Structure 1
Amino acid sequence: MPQDRSPRGPRAGGSSSSRGGGEGRPSRGRPDSGPRGDSKPRGDGKPRSSDGKPRGGADSRGGPPAGRGPRRSGDSSREFSRPRRDDRRDDRRRSDEDRSETQAKYDGPPIPEEITGRELDRSIAAQLKSLPDKLALRVSRHLVAAGELIETEPRTAYEHTLAARARASRLAVVREAVGEAAYAAGEYAEALAELKAAKRMNGAQDYVAIIADCERALGRPDRALAVVKNAPKDKLAPALLAELTIVEAGARRDRGELDAALRTLELSPLMSKARDTWVARLRYAYADALVAAERPQDALTWFHRADAVDAERATDAAARATEVERSLEG
């Protein structure tokens, strides 16, 4: 099935396996977060005497000393093994490595000194006021860093949000940020879990299109369609409704229902007089579906119409139009 090459937003069609990096995202808000857990060195569990020598021998009654482990099979002296020094050193080294990795995740990537945290949107900063001042500042700086990197370095942005979540996992705005950064980084299962958690916490519908597209990315178009069906469409802003329509059409294409995908898009406001990005993206999705339906002349028309209102260059409609023109000439 042909891949959708739209540079942003939910893919108009094609297989979910080609979605990666920062591509294929519906319109985004804020990013952030990461789990924390300290691993402790595990003891070897082998009994030893206070002088470090192996315990062994039988008590006056014969058999192994009371409270001591079983004899080694076939060992008439009833001596007990003790771990070799190299084994203990390896255990400590593995434990230190585990602890270092956990600590690195908790700390997150370095935050540029010029980021103060005050750059954070006021509505988001207000939701951090329940945190102690120093903690709120650290979380704010991670969120700002994530927001600045999400387009160019989505993986690093995701790591910043993990660090924020390690410190403030009970805040919906942080969980939302983790979900959006995970989505940008191609961590669709994580994105789905975090955005669902945020939705349970604050009841917001702002990320319903991303949730549906994550289901597509995980190879579950039926679930994606269920999310679309249950969304309160009468309460969604035009831009979000457009993103949801694009995801719905893509899920139809995933199921091999190309005609249904075309109908879904044809019922959307393709001829809107608005010159917003969502209009360009709807038209682009429709043009891409027309290419898949082997209607290149119609697709060319709609690629041109998409390009005409794409002031922000959210799509590569112009390049796709040129490509289709060449195919028609050939």
Structure 2
Amino acid sequence: MAEDRRGQRPSRDGSGAGRGKPASGRGGAPSRGGASGSRGSDSRGGDSRSDSRGGARGGTGRPGAGDSRGRGSRDEQPRGKDRGFRGRSEEKPRTVDQAQYDGPDLPEDVTGAELAPGVRAQLKGLPEKLAARVARHLAAAGLLIDEDPEKAYQHTLAARARASRLAVVREATGEAAYAAGHYAEALAELRAAKRMNGATDYLPIMADCHRALGNPEQAIKLGKSPSVANFSTEAKAEMTLVEAGARRDMGQLDAALRTLELAPLTSKNRSAWVVRLRYAYADTLEAAGRESDALAWFHRTHAIDSEELTDAAERADQLERKQQS
């Protein structure tokens, strides 16, 4: 798998995890975040301190100094904060948790109806207004995940702050975190979702997160999970790509090639997953020094890459020029 995981992230349903649309989830888990904020500075303010009789302590150390009525001088009068109100200019700045809870501004044209029916159904257990707000954040995240994955991630954090016990929310947060390059957070969120609903179709993304975090052995371990045998052909291909990449991370080029050779490289299917399998195989062949074989597979990749998902044509040209020089 290419190191730019944001553009080639493993897909669970054939169209890319969360790519251009909200993800579908199944359950929930307790949140690491939340909307609680710090209390901020002491609200009493000012330099005056009340003594046991309630008077302002003046410079002489006795109540009422400088005022015949015992109320202290004008300069020593308690400020607005001491009188129980706060001016607009003194509002506390938002804490990190508060900013996360609020999330980015929601586009007016995003209503939440953009979500898949299965996702909306999982929000029905929430109060109506809360469900509507969460739905809008999830829908906004789905629309932004390709063009602005970081903002999409912030939308999912806002949804998680409100509904952290729904797996659909944790799943969406994990996928957005992955797209934005927050691999540790993505792994934690997807683990939470998996604990709640028992789903295994997150495994390719989780394995790739392990790779990104420098744990290729864990990626390979997930690739050997018994549940992978029940994956669709496409999902198996995604796991193959991650496992082969992990082998390469460990310097095991021959093992990476063997892993890819077990996949349907010669499939007549022209879908993106076949394109990516062929490209990974050609790239690994070149890394292993088998340039003639690599050239052939770059050409075979380009032959089915009608959407130009890869630079197979350019790679083939480079190899041809190299061989002719």
Give the TM bin, normalised by the shorter chain. Answer: 0.7 to 0.9
What is the distance in 1 between the residues matched to 2:91 and 2:323?
63
1:177 aligned onto 2:161: no
Decide whether the 8 Å contact of 1:208 with 1:231 is kept in 2: no
What is the distance in 1 between the residues matched to 2:174 and 2:136?
18
1:97 aligned onto 2:93: yes
Decide whether the 8 Å contact of 1:35 with 1:162 is kept in 2: no
Alignment partner of 2:217 out of 222, 235, 256:
222
What is the distance in 2 between the residues matched to 1:304 and 1:169?
47
Alpha-carbon distance, 1:246 to partner? 0.6
Aligned equivalent of 1:41: 40
Aligned equivalent of 2:10: 26
Alpha-carbon distance, 1:214 to partner? 0.2
- The answer for unaligned runs of 5 or more in structure 2 is 24-30, 62-78, 80-88
- The answer for unaligned runs of 5 or more in structure 1 is 1-10, 13-17, 58-84, 86-92
Q: Within 5 Å, which residues of 2 pair with 1:9-20?
A: 11-12=1-2, 19=4
Aligned equivalent of 1:311: 306
Alignment partner of 1:245 out of 235, 240, 261:
240
1:260 aligned onto 2:248: no
Aligned residue for 1:224, secondary structure, equals helix
What is the distance in 2 between the residues matched to 1:157 and 1:186?
12
Aligned equivalent of 1:292: 287
Alignment partner of 1:272 out of 252, 267, 270:
267
What is the distance in 1 between the residues matched to 2:268 and 2:154?
40
What is the distance in 1 between the residues matched to 2:91 and 2:10?
41
What is the distance in 1 between the residues matched to 2:90 and 2:256?
52
Alpha-carbon distance, 1:98 to partner? 4.7
Decide whether the 8 Å contact of 2:278 with 2:300 is kept in 1: yes
In 2 relative to 1, CA 231–182 (structure 1 residues): closer, same or farther, beyond 3 Å? farther
Q: Within 5 Å, which residues of 2 pair with 1:11-160?
A: 11-12=1-2, 19=4, 22-27=6-11, 28-30=16-18, 31=22, 35-41=34-40, 43=42, 48-50=49-51, 51=55, 53=57, 96-99=92-95, 101-160=96-155
Alpha-carbon distance, 1:29 to partner? 3.4
TM-score when normalising by structure 1? 0.77
Q: Comparing 307-316 with 287-296, which one deviates more in the overlay?
A: 307-316
What is the distance in 2 between the residues matched to 1:203 and 1:312?
35
Decide whether the 8 Å contact of 1:146 with 1:161 is kept in 2: yes
Aligned equivalent of 2:28: none
Alpha-carbon distance, 1:119 to partner? 1.1
Q: Comparing 316-325 with 242-251, which one deviates more in the overlay?
A: 316-325
Sequence identity of aligned pairs in percent? 58
The amino acid that maps onto 1:36 is A
Aligned residues: 280
Alpha-carbon distance, 1:43 to partner? 4.2
What is the distance in 2 between the residues matched to 1:166 and 1:116?
19
Alignment partner of 1:201 out of 196, 200, 224:
196
Q: Runs of 4+ in structure 1 displaced over 6 angstroms?
A: 44-47
What is the distance in 2 between the residues matched to 1:253 and 1:195?
25
Alpha-carbon distance, 1:329 to partner? 2.9
In 2 relative to 1, CA 195–95 (structure 1 residues): closer, same or farther, beyond 3 Å? farther
Decide whether the 8 Å contact of 1:124 with 1:173 is kept in 2: yes
What is the distance in 1 between the residues matched to 2:261 and 2:217?
21
Aligned residue for 1:232, secondary structure, equals helix
Decide whether the 8 Å contact of 1:19 with 1:186 is kept in 2: no
The amino acid that maps onto 1:168 is A
TM-score when normalising by structure 2? 0.78
What is the distance in 2 between the residues matched to 1:140 and 1:194?
18
Alpha-carbon distance, 1:53 to partner? 4.3
Aligned equivalent of 2:27: none
Decide whether the 8 Å contact of 1:39 with 1:95 is kept in 2: no
Cα deviation, 1:227-266, whole Å, max 9, x if unaligned, reads: 1112412210111100100110111111111111011111
Q: Comparing 301-310 with 237-246, which one deviates more in the overlay?
A: 301-310
